[in-house]
Amino acid sequence: MNGWQQDVLGPGFEQLTLELPAGSPATLVRHAGGGERWEPSALTGADVLYVHGWSDYFFQRELAEFWTRAGAAFYALDLHNYGRSLRPGQSPGQVSSLTEYDGDIAAALTAMGRRGAGTPVEPATANEPMAANGSGGSSGRPGAEPEDPHPGGPMAWVAEALAALARRRAAPAEPGRRPLVLLGHSTGGLTLSLWAARHPGAADAVVLNSPWLEFQASEVGRAMVAPLIQARSRFRPLAPLPPLDPGFYTRAVSSRFDGEWDYEQKWRPDRGFPVTPGFLNAVFRGQAEVARGLGIEAPVLVMLSDKSYLQPRWSGDALAADVVLNVDTVARRALDLGRDVTLHRVSGAFHDIFLSPSAIRAHAYAGMGRWAEAALDAGAARRWAERAEPATEA
């Protein structure tokens, strides 16, 4: 690490190169700008770590300013082989397993002054054979009904959930420990979901902005395609697959077309980086893990547009929809993240909700802030756990 330096976003932003054991560096960006702060809340003093999606990098100044005004310390991570971290001769976005980003995240947390990330649970290997349904095992839905883990009825479940949440938040904190909010977009949302599941207790809240939790053609489509992609990833992992991106997303967000955002095209190409079997196999493996159920302990907020536009021809409808994901499929899959999952559908939002038109962004920011404040409010969690206890005694 060579110390913090001025970032390409200009005044108020600094970047730090993170040298990783695997060789390819990552880059941590922090918002060091001033400005008026809102009144103190449960968000005051929290750390926020943002991770971008596929063929992307961090450039959303407004997102950083929102969290800073709320009293949080905002950081964004350009993963290795992306954005600021991309070096000559590297294959953009190439990865054989999403667990390879554990090193990036660990280095970022260390640079943020955080003491540790918990003990990870050993994940499946990248080429472990999949079950016939493409999920690597039963999703828990087909077949026999599972045994009810809460025989005391629905109020017993509520009391148990609230009590567990209160215990986690009331546990003695390490000296100087600050709450950690993970904020991931698209593939970054999938990556952080898997990381949070493998590192229980590390994050206090997880916010997912249009996470790529499931294949656009649903679990059935993934089950059909995944074995073919897995085979190609073994023999030709870097061979480009046929391009699928018609450029609609760029047309919606870029100031060169119908959008309002300026960014580095070399780090965010109009039709994305070439998709390779190695990368897609890594994503499919991650999605299969989600389908089996992650059991994330922290509360999770999943933010999605209310509709998708996945047609091959351009239409004005693409300016009020997610043109990348099947949002209804992702919404259903979100239930497999953990027990404390909140789904927020944002009408007319783009794939990156915080690149949507201003009125839509304002609605999304308000919803995210309201949810995050409640998720980090340890006092409220304890009060409601205590209030729910008598209901189980009746």
Q: Residue 140's pLDDT is what?
A: 38
Q: How far apart are the first and last CA of the chain?
A: 59
pLDDT digits (tens, 9 = 90+) for 313-348: 888 999 999 999 999 999 999 999 999 999 999 999
**What is the distance between the alpha carbons of residues 80 and 83, in angstroms, rounded to a whole number?**
8
CA dihedral 260, 263, 269, 273 (to 10 degrees): -120
Q: Band of the pLDDT at 391, cuts 50, 70, 90? A: low
Q: How much of the chain exceeds pLDDT 90, in percent?
A: 60
Higher per-residue pLDDT: 81 or 32: 81
Q: Band of the pLDDT at 162, cuts 50, 70, 90? A: low
Report DSSP state, residue 238: T
Contact status, residue 255 vs residue 247, Cβ threshold 8 Å:
no
Q: Residue 16's pLDDT is what?
A: 97
pLDDT digits (tens, 9 = 90+) for 232-253: 777 777 777 777 778 889 999 9
Query: For the whole model, what pTM was predicted?
Result: 0.84
**What is the distance between the alpha carbons of residues 5 and 267, in angstroms, rounded to a whole number?**
19
Phi-psi region of 372 (alpha: psi -120 to 50; beta: other; left: phi over 0): alpha
Q: Residue 13's pLDDT is what?
A: 96
Average pLDDT over the chain, rounded to an integer: 84
Higher per-residue pLDDT: 271 or 132: 271
pLDDT digits (tens, 9 = 90+) for 117-156: 545 655 444 444 444 344 444 333 333 344 444 445 545 5
Q: Residue 68's pLDDT is what?
A: 96
Which of 43-52, 228-237, 289-298, 357-366 shows the lowest per-residue confidence on average (mean pLDDT)?
A: 228-237
Instruction: Tell me how far CA of residue 57 lies from CA of 88, 102, 148, in angstroms.
Output: 17, 17, 43
Q: Residue 322's pLDDT is what?
A: 93
Instruction: Tell me how far CA of residue 87 lies from CA of 83, 100, 215, 302, 364, in angstroms.
Output: 9, 17, 29, 33, 34
Residue 301: CA count within 13 A, CB half-sphere:
25
